[in-house]
Amino acid sequence: MQEQLMEKIMEEVMKKVKETKINEENTEENSITIENKECGITEFVGTAIGDTIGLVIANVDYNLHEFMKLDKKFRSIGIIGGRTGAGPQIMAADEAVKATNTEIIAIELPRDTKGGAGHGSLIIFGAEDVSDARRAVEVALDELGRTFGDVYANEAGHLEFQYTARASYACNKAFKAPIGKAFGLIVGAPAAIGVLMADTAVKAANVEVIGYASPGNGTSFTNEAILFISGDSGAVRQSLIAAREIGKPLLEALGGKAPSLTQPYI
């Protein structure tokens, strides 16, 4: 009987140990879903996926304006910046400038993603009034859940697809996207996958290539190949979908299941 008891106990224990582990992993996972914590600082707006933080400054210091190379007509600035992701934050900022009385005054792309293959981001909105700056940051943080939807990642790398029917000033500043036209972004990491996706995308539909970036050209030394396309809205989507269809099995051959970080939107 002691043997049986032993066995039963071992079984229970291993189950419990496993559960604890899964719970811990879930907790970690949660750290990249949308959050909104209080922190008692006036300038704090919120946080979101990708270790993204949103902040505002009502009156930027006069001296700092110069050192930061900001146009002095903007007294107030909104700031969003994340460790993981540049595309998602830029697309979110694009919606924010459409929805508010602000301008994009800086987009800078660190080599980040917390050990991943891509960029992080620092985006600054300019506004004459702090309430506009705050609103832009709020809109951008809210959009991030969506714009991370076509980011697919595993241990080996990531894929990213972005689409807008009507590009605005953030897409224009960051990607030279023609304003008002449909725009698409295709990112593959490691870069080899991005190269193949780029070729697939341009063959899949009649789109205009706006740009191409790679580890040594147009990125901050990320391990990504990136294609920027514009054109008819249907064609852009068709291109993106074709690229995704070839990219996903490739990334998964390299590193196993590569799920969406949130919910695909394209």
CA distances from 131 to 4, 76, 124, 137 (A): 68, 9, 15, 10
At its nearest, how many Å lie between a second copy and the CB of residue 247? 9
Alpha-carbon dihedral sign for residues 147, 158, 29, 42: negative
Residue 5 touches a second copy, criterion: CB under 8 A: yes
Stretch that binds a second copy, among 108-116, 141-149, 165-173, 257-265 (CB under 8 A): 108-116
x/- letters, 128..167, toward a second copy (CB under 8 A)? ---------------------------xxx----------
Near a second copy in 198-227, by CB under 8 A: 198-199, 202-203, 209, 211-212, 214-217, 219-225
CA distances from 21 to 17, 18, 133 (A): 6, 5, 42
Of residues 7 and 265, the one with the C-beta less far from a second copy: 7
Stretch that binds a second copy, among 45-53, 90-98, 127-135, 236-244 (CB under 8 A): 45-53
- 169, 94 Cβ separation under 8 angstroms: yes
- The residue type found at 183 is F
Residue 22 touches a second copy, criterion: CB under 8 A: no
Residue 265 touches a second copy, criterion: CB under 8 A: no
Beta bridge partners, 121, equal 82
At its nearest, how many Å lie between a second copy and the CB of residue 252? 7
Residue 250 touches a second copy, criterion: CB under 8 A: yes
At its nearest, how many Å lie between a second copy and the CB of residue 115? 3
Instruction: Tell which one of 34, 99, 122, 241 touches a second copy (CB under 8 A).
Output: 122
- The residue type found at 113 is T
Residue with tokens 């290539």: 209
Residue 80 touches a second copy, criterion: CB under 8 A: yes
Strand ordering across the sheet containing 225-231? 151-154, 157-164, 182-189, 225-231, 208-213
Q: Is 126 left (phi over 0), alpha (psi -120 to 50) or beta?
A: beta
Stretch that binds a second copy, among 44-52, 91-99, 142-150, 173-181 (CB under 8 A): 44-52
Residue with tokens 């295709």: 186
Residue with tokens 């700056």: 133
Q: Which two tokens stand for residue 149?
A: 């939807």
At its nearest, how many Å lie between a second copy and the CB of residue 122? 4
Of residues 255 and 265, the one with the C-beta less far from a second copy: 255
